[in-house]
Amino acid sequence: MLRVTLLLLQLAAKPNQTVNEGDEAFNKLNYPAAIAIYEALIEKSPTDAAVLWRLARVYVCAGDVAAQSEREAFYQKAADYARRSIQADPSVGDAHTWLAAALGNLALFKGGSEKVKLSAEVKQEIDKALQLNNKDDVAYSILGTFYRSLGSVGWLERQMAGIFMGGLPDGGYAEAETALKKAIELAPKTMRHHYELGLLYIDLNRLEEARASLKKAQELPIVIAADKPRLAQIKKLLGYIDQQLR
């Protein structure tokens, strides 16, 4: 059904639409329209790195709110476009950022050695993105989420991963806090950054700090479609924290 919808949008796309029009559709959370515009542009210029990384971004964001059965396909499409962008121009930091985002989400659908392999590639791509642009708040936010996931991995799991799967990257909760605080410093009005910091503080049982971070996130504008379900989750988490602090 989604493929049909996108095809119809592509057919209806106006000639000579621009990247800015695609960005406008993306910012309005109209992801099918943004995809249609970007893909029409890439048909004309298949190696345009700026359009390719935008396609990776919109497919990640659309995947975040797609039906569970469709998400892996969205993230795979995002990874494919990000790799094409990097191939076209390896110096485009956003391509590395959104490849990391796509691979991090794809890892949720994998098991065992494939998950460990993807984890190593996620870290590699984030490092490259930040090397190219050390003010990339999205990359820092992904890095924070990445380190938070490592923080929850137990000693035995790490040993098993090291023996049988090549090992996990170093890092954990402390590095997650540093990365997320840097993301907030760079983009203080981005809901995701504060939300992820709140989740980290819940993991660490620092509930007063978690509540402050989540309340801040709750005040911020919706800028991507995933912010809508994120707000619902924040409300639940705040209720949980209030119960624990009574």
Contact 159, 110 (CB under 8 A): no
Per-residue pLDDT reduced to its tens digit, 11-50: 455 656 899 999 999 999 999 999 999 999 999 999 999 9
Residue 172 pLDDT grade (very low, low, confident, very high; cuts 50, 70, 90): confident
The first and second tokens of residue 157, run together, are 């799991």
The token pair that represents 188 in the structure block? 């203080």
Query: Would you kindly state where each structural domain of the chain is located, as residue ranges?
Result: 188-246
User: pTM higher than 0.75, yes or no?
Assistant: yes
Alpha helices in 133-226 (DSSP H): 137-151, 155-164, 173-186, 191-203, 207-219
Dmax over Cα atoms in the chain, in whole Å? Answer: 60
